[in-house]
Structure 1
Amino acid sequence: RGGLHHRREFSHWGIPPHWTDAVGQKEWLSGCRSFGKAIWEVLGEQRNPDIVFEHPGEATIPTSIFVCEAGGMVVICAGTTGYSASVDLRYHWVRQKRLQGSHGSNDEQAAAYNQLVVNGKIDPCVGKVYAFEDIGKAHADMEAGKTVFGNRVVLVGAPEIGLGRN
């Protein structure tokens, strides 16, 4: 089961209020819980994700840590909104959550993957290309289970195929 909720539907993002700010903490937690309920809607059950893949970084990691299941893991794979994060550490030790960094591959592994393509062992076939403005449609197509042969890609910073950002 898949789904999509745009984070702009919620307003609690960013650095959470200091733990001594009871009013601010209450408001922030309310936003986190609303986001958590949206996740439950997508999942179709009241269950938090065991693994959260964290891409934006600074603006969203406090919430990712909050919504991750007790004993679960937040995998940090980028920091598109920033690299500095302030988090409430109580959610780590009380609920035994883990943070794990992942870059996808190291230089040696990336070179080996590329060699597999060169040797014809794998075919990184692109089956469907979406304009950046159609990213919602890309998610909707995946949610609906629309099958494509190959990978789906979204053009970021390029008006058409073959014109990447320099």
Structure 2
Amino acid sequence: MAPALVGGLILASGPLALAAPTTPVPKSSAGAGRQTYTAGTYIVQLRDKPVATNATTAPAAGRRLDTRSDAVRDYVGQLKQERDKVLDAVRGVRPAYTYQYVLNGFAAKLTATQAARLARTPGVVSLTRNEMLHLTTTSGTAATSGTAATTAGANATKSEAGTAATAATVTSAATGSLPRPTPPGSSG
């Protein structure tokens, strides 16, 4: 399944991707020097609060964030200035995406050296490497789950059959394989 761009964050749908764990930036600069990084795409979280949680810009409970208000526009400008300071501190870092409403930070393709330098840059809270993780299963798990749901569907009422078909789809999606459709008119 292809990833989708939603609100500036890349989301993957389907069973093929999971979120990668956060690689926290050590608090001391001495500890930051020991952390090793590899080249790749990272989400870099910055120190200042994002617009949605900042005391001067956060919406009241039950209200929507007014991204056109003067307070929000001013604060987004402040966040941009702070982000530019971080970007200027490490040569060659160009953000692919910037975030300021729900997360304050940016995504960028980094070399190992750039990632290590960013980790030591004042104002950087964490680096999270973007990784694609794949679900794995044994063929016995997928076959057993699909067979049980199909058998339940054959011996069930119409309502129960629908539930069994849903269970088969959910089980198959979780195991990374989808059931093959049965052609109309064939028994199945």
Given the two structures, how large is their TM-score scaled by the length of structure 2?
0.23
Given the two structures, how large is their TM-score scaled by the length of structure 1?
0.25
Q: Which has the higher strand share?
A: 2
- Which has the bigger relative contact order, CA under 8 A and spacing at least 6? 2
Which structure's CA Rg is the greater one? 2
